[in-house]
Amino acid sequence: MTAVMTGGCLCGAVRYEAAGEPVFSLLCHCRDCQRASGSAYNAALRMPAAGFRITRGQPKLYVKTADSGNTVSRAFCPDCGSPLFLKVSTRPDLVGIRAGTLDDPSIFRPEAHVFVNSAQP
């Protein structure tokens, strides 16, 4: 799969594209992802940062130090608040795109559950 994936927020103010193949697809059950997504877990595709770019608008960033000690920058739409993607300080080569923001989320195939200690029953 070499096609360029596209996606964006609920209101359409922020759009992005991501080229290349997903490096890893996961469901994250950490408490930060639960709060930031408003859901039980976060479904994310880790894509090569080199192939990722914003094509419309400018997301706002929320930066927080995770329990792991890593700095996590979460990008969201300043207008509608949709969470879009995140970056982890230790892996600047990757972007974690929230699967639900893809124009075609059906390509998402989770390979692992992470932070299952805080997963909801």
Which residues of the shown chain bind Zn ion in the complex (CB under 5 A)? 9, 11, 13, 28, 30, 33, 77, 79-80
Give strand pairing partners of 27: 43, 113
Least Å from the CB of residue 102 to Zn ion: 15
Strand order in the sheet with 15-18: 5-8, 15-18, 52-56
User: What is the C-alpha separation between 84 and 44, in angstroms, rounded?
Assistant: 10
Task: Name which of 9 and 75 has its Cβ closer to Zn ion.
Answer: 9
Task: Name which of 3 and 61 has its Cβ closer to Zn ion.
Answer: 61
Least Å from the CB of residue 84 to Zn ion: 9
Secondary structure element (H or E) that encloses residue 113, with its range: strand 112-114
Asked whether 95 and 87 are in contact (CB, 8 A), the reply is: yes
Least Å from the CB of residue 115 to Zn ion: 6
Task: Name which of 31 and 50 has its Cβ closer to Zn ion.
Answer: 31
